[in-house]
Amino acid sequence: YAIDRPNDDFYGAVDLENRPVPGVNKSCVLIARILWTFAAAARLEGRADYAAVADSAYRVLLSQFWDRAHGGFFMAVTPAGQIADATKHTYMQAFGSYALCQYFRLNGSAEVLTLIRDSFALFEAKTKDPNHPGYLEAFTPDWQPSAENRMADNNEPKSMNTHLHLLEAYASLYEVWPDPAVATRLRELLLIFLDKIIRPSGHLGIFFDDAFNETEPSRGICSFGHDIEATWLLCEAAEALADEALLARTRGLAIKMLDAVERVGFDKDGGLFLESYRHGSHVRTNKHWWLQAETLVGFMNGFELTGQPRYWDNVRLSWQFIDQHVIDHERGEWFTKVNRLGVPFLVEPAGDPSPYYRNDWKVDPWKCPYHNGRACMEMIRRIDAVLAAQL
């Protein structure tokens, strides 16, 4: 329903009745995530129709979002493919690279690998902070740093979210192109998380100053979805680097983080709450689709690392909640958000608006098949590995 077949393109949004929403801009993150998901699914299932969707997404990403003058991906384009938001956000560059790496795994194209290599050099030259750890967040079309459009509540200089997805992209990049420069940057990103971003409590800090000190407004917030997603993405990065000491440290912290999420964010019915704020005195108990997807993988990773039955019990409980409350069994896909009791929100509640995605749309600039599609593929791979080890 999101594929504009006559134009070999994609719609920017699809409503709950599976109808394209006219006039909605296409975001870079939507197209990149479609590319990643369908390339991964084509590899897993060997299906030509999935590969064809990935081919289309690759063409759209390169023809409409890639800046031919200065390099890098624009943030959004109109339905006709004209630039709607020319911001160069590091988050978008990370997802573009992540998608290209998965696409290269699918087709082994020399053209794609060249683009991956050139993009890495460009992003390192333009987005890495020359004076402090980490990467700057947002830029003008010609790569001048911008204080606007950062992924932060108060336009703080650096965010956990951007660095998490850059680490995710660089781990994937290192697997397809094991260059020493990539290993160096991946290690630096991993150590930023281990040394700067993960709090003593086991939760992630959210927003930071230039030197990666957490800002005061950020300290009272816990984002449970990012916490549990990071538990397995950090392990994936450490596994790619194959440094046993670093891997052991990362796995230990991942379990500490997982236990922290289980203790304060995991509901007794298997759903994961959105976040806590005011230093834990208030909890937003709505359960967004992507958090539930990451909960599956996070607890499965914990079970694989420790063999503790309670993590497997949490996997089963999480899937039961998803199956009963989050999946739209009538029209397909997953509802954007359900309340604590598992009742879907079908309109956007005035008192609790989502900052990025709408409840009355099934596909939008931020909602796509990536989190839930990836979680299902990860679960297939991981359960198969556990079963194979028992034979």
For the stretch 145-182, pLDDT in tens is 998 866 766 788 999 999 999 999 999 999 999 999 99
Residue 208 in this model has a pLDDT that exceeds 80: yes
pLDDT band at 29 (very low <50, low <70, confident <90, very high): very high
| Whole-number pLDDT of residue 155 | 81
Give residue-wise pLDDT tens across range 228-243.
999 999 999 999 999 9
Segments of the chain assigned to CATH 1.50.10.10: 1-175+185-192
Residue 117 in this model has a pLDDT that exceeds 90: yes
Mean pLDDT is highest, among 141-150, 277-286, 350-359, 377-386, for 377-386
Closest CA to 193 of 149, 239, 233: 233
Closest CA to 177 of 133, 111, 231, 117: 117
Listed in sequence order, the residues at least 6 apart from 95 whose beta carbon sits closer than 8 Å to its beta carbon are 28, 29, 32, 33, 36, 165, 169
What whole-number distance in Å separates Cα of residue 160 and Cα of residue 167? 10
| Whole-number pLDDT of residue 153 | 67
Q: Rounded mean pLDDT of 5-34?
A: 97
| Whole-number pLDDT of residue 352 | 66
Give residue-wise pLDDT tens across range 184-207.
999 999 999 999 999 999 999 999
Tell me the H-state helices in 4-109.
28-45, 48-60, 90-107
Closest CA to 138 of 153, 125, 152: 152
**Tokens 């390099």 correspond to what residue?**
71
- Percentage of residues in the chain with pLDDT exceeding 90? 92
Tell me the H-state helices in 142-215.
160-176, 180-192
Q: Kindly tell me the burial class for residue 121, based on how many C-beta atoms sit within 10 Å of its own C-beta (0-12, 13-18, 19 or more).
A: exposed
Residue 280 in this model has a pLDDT that exceeds 90: no
| Whole-number pLDDT of residue 353 | 65
pLDDT band at 260 (very low <50, low <70, confident <90, very high): very high
Tell me the H-state helices in the chain.
28-45, 48-60, 90-107, 110-127, 160-176, 180-192, 224-241, 244-264, 289-306, 309-321, 370-390
Write phi, then psi, for 129 (nearest 5 degrees). -70, 120
How many residues are listed for the chain in this entry?
391
Check whether domain 1-175+185-192 has CATH 1.10.3720.10, yes or no: no
| Whole-number pLDDT of residue 365 | 94
> How does the average pLDDT of the chain come out, rounded?
96
Write phi, then psi, for 217 (nearest 5 degrees). -65, -25
Residue 384 in this model has a pLDDT that exceeds 90: yes
In contact, 253 and 195? CB cutoff 8 Å: no
Q: Is the torsion defined by CA of 184, 186, 187, 191 positive or negative?
A: positive
Q: Kindly tell me the burial class for residue 184, based on how many C-beta atoms sit within 10 Å of its own C-beta (0-12, 13-18, 19 or more).
A: exposed
Q: Rounded mean pLDDT of 245-261?
A: 99
pLDDT band at 311 (very low <50, low <70, confident <90, very high): very high
pLDDT band at 281 (very low <50, low <70, confident <90, very high): confident
What whole-number distance in Å separates Cα of residue 181 and Cα of residue 141? 26
